[in-house]
Structure 1
Amino acid sequence: MAEGNDTYDDVIRKLDEYFKPIKNTALAVYLFRELKQKQGETVEQFITRLKSEAINCGFENPTAEIKAQIFQKTSNKKFKRDILKHPNWTLDDVVSEARSLETSELQAGKIEEKDNPFVNHSTVNKITATRGRGKQQPMQQPMHESKCKKCGGKPYHPPTQCPAKKW
């Protein structure tokens, strides 16, 4: 900037270059390789995270790197087998198959849950303790709403075991 003829645009460009953060591609690649599918995360959400992280890595072929990372770090074993069966799939093919597989697994899970005789989605009878000669009355309470009245913790635990009993 020692030159006296610099225009405003030249000065701004030089300042932008000077203050531009230095990219550490080695760190970015390391962090990318550490990414794995989180519990409850769909493959599509995982792919979106991979795409956003791959931008900082400077990969020559980011699509191939994302596809390899999906194969290595997805939690769905059936999906891994499908990728192995189709080595020529593009990333779009992988995304499409992931959507299809997750949709069918969700639908199958709903059917299996409905057909399971050991899962009771109705209410359970809760026995209430009474003092003296009173009669115990069952109280209808939905199974999924049982939580502690003191701390709100789920699943329900006896008052003697409540972490909030000390307060």
Structure 2
Amino acid sequence: MATSMPTLANFDVHSDPSSLFSRWQKWIRRFEGAMTGFGITDDGRKKALLLHYGGEDLDDVFQTIKLTDNTYTKAKEVLETYFQPKQNTLYETIIFRREHQLQGESIDQYCTRLRKLAERCNFTDAEREIKTQIIEDCLSSQLRRKALEKDRGLEEIIELARSISLSETRTKEVEHVGRAEANHLRTAAGKQKQSRSWVKAKLKPTPDHKQQCYHCGGSYPHTKKCPAKGMTCNACGKPNHFAKVCKSAEKSTKDQKKRVKSGGKANALTSVEDAEETSDSDYVFQLSSSDTDQPRATVCVNNTPVQALIDSGATVNVMSRKTYNLTARNLTGIDTR
């Protein structure tokens, strides 16, 4: 029963001489992996397949090498020697010493790069050299301090670096959430403060928008003393305000209006006309005919019975022309207004 052979690209002998040896090492690993996968263990078959899959250029190189031992192991050895460049150990060591951890590079990635460079340096103790390079040129100062506290192995240094990296990542996440919450609170507080400032500015009187004085009714603030200070209200008799801004008189008038109903025949008090406040002024009321449920009393005026509204709040007694004509017979010297 025929079996299909593995597919493997030929080895490129002539491209990029600087990476020739490293490319050969990768290719030979893939080749041996394929042989193992297909169960090919015969030494002669492996050598034949090596030259077949290596390609024409690899076969030409092999033919220039004289072999005393015609086996796969020997063929691999002489080809590896051919592709391996003459190394300058001092130069490779300098390159190794210049390698430092890059931004965003994990400790494992950094260690892998150092291992590859150390292969060309012929170090007696490569693990110790790699550990020293990590301690000297890693990005984490915390790792450096911990590593210098006591002598640790390379694997212990790598585990410590992983732990520190994880801790720093979690700390940044927590701090980010904390800053986000703090910024939210500061923003809310700023908006609240701005709102209070806006309300305060809105309520505060400006020079162009003066308030009304509660005592005299004029513009406030006064440039001089308030005119109502020391004066007595003609409406309620209380000091330090004029009747036109008297709250007591305003309340009394509103109460009277609430008690008035239209459509009656009796004379009723309905409103107060605006009048300039003077020291000898009387309150002038407007009378109209309307029904009312207000308490009334029958009084005798010049021997004539008259229906009168009790406690109208007026400072003078007022009657209609019709009532006057009924009661003023044979009266002389009466002041009418």
TM-score, length-normalised on structure 2? 0.31
Query: Following the alignment from structure 1 to structure 2, what is the Cα–Cα distance between the partners of residues 30 and 79?
Result: 24
Identify the match of residue 105 of structure 2 among 38, 41, 44.
Answer: 41
Out of 105, 111, 114, which is 2:174 matched to?
111
Contact 1:25 1:58 in 2 (8 A): yes
Q: CA deviation digits over 1:86-135, x for unaligned, max 9?
A: 2x21111101101111011101110111111349xxxxxxxxxxxxxxxx
Residue in 1 aligned with 2:158? 95
Structure 2, unmatched stretches of 5+, are: 1-65, 185-337
- CA distance, structure 1, for counterparts of residue 126 and residue 84 of structure 2: 24
TM-superposed CA distance for 1:16, in Å, is 5.2
Amino acid at match of 1:23: Q
Instruction: Write the mapping of 1:2-151 to structure 2, written as runs, cut at 5 A.
Output: 6=68, 8-9=70-71, 12=75, 17-86=81-150, 88-116=151-179, 117-118=182-183
**Aligned-residue offset at 1:51:** 1.4
The sequence identity of aligned pairs, in percent, is: 29
1:19, distance to aligned residue in structure 2 (A): 4.7
Change over 3 Å in CA distance of 1:110–1:21 after alignment to 2: same
Corresponding letter in the other structure for 1:77: S
Provide the aligned C-alpha RMSD in A: 2.7
Inter-partner Cα distance in structure 2 for 1:54 and 1:5: 31
CA distance in 2, matches of 1:5, 1:55: 28
Corresponding letter in the other structure for 1:96: E
Q: Determine if contact 1:44/1:98 at 8 Å carries over to the other structure.
A: no
Q: Which of the pair has the greater relative contact order for Cα pairs under 8 Å at 6+ separation?
A: 1
Against the structure 1 CA distance between its residues 26 and 104, is the aligned structure 2 distance closer, same or farther, given a 3 Å change threshold? same
Which whole-Å CA distance do the structure 1 matches of 2:80 and 2:155 have between them?
Answer: 37
Between the aligned partners of 2:126 and 2:114, the Cα distance in structure 1 is: 10
What's the secondary structure of 1:113's corresponding residue? helix
Alpha-carbon distance between aligned partners in 1 of 2:140 and 2:67, rounded to the nearest angstrom: 62
Q: Which has the larger radius of gyration?
A: 2
Does the C-alpha gap of structure 1 residues 113 and 55 become closer, same or farther in structure 2, counting only changes over 3 Å? same
Unaligned ranges ≥5, structure 1? 120-167
TM-score under structure 1 normalisation? 0.60
- For 2:102 and 2:134, how far apart are their aligned partners in 1? 12
Residue 85 of structure 2 aligns to a residue whose secondary structure is coil
Mark the CA change 1:18 to 1:115 in structure 2 (over 3 Å): closer, same or farther: closer
Letter in 2 for 1:24: N
Contact 1:71 1:80 in 2 (8 A): yes
Residues 79, 101 of structure 1: 8 Å contact kept: yes
Give the structure 2 partner of residue 155 of structure 1.
Answer: none
Q: 1:110 to 1:62 in 2, by over 3 A?
A: same
Instruction: Count residues in correspondence.
Output: 116
Q: For residue 81 of structure 1, what is the amino acid of its counterpart?
A: R
- Tell me the CA shift for residue 71 of structure 1: 1.0
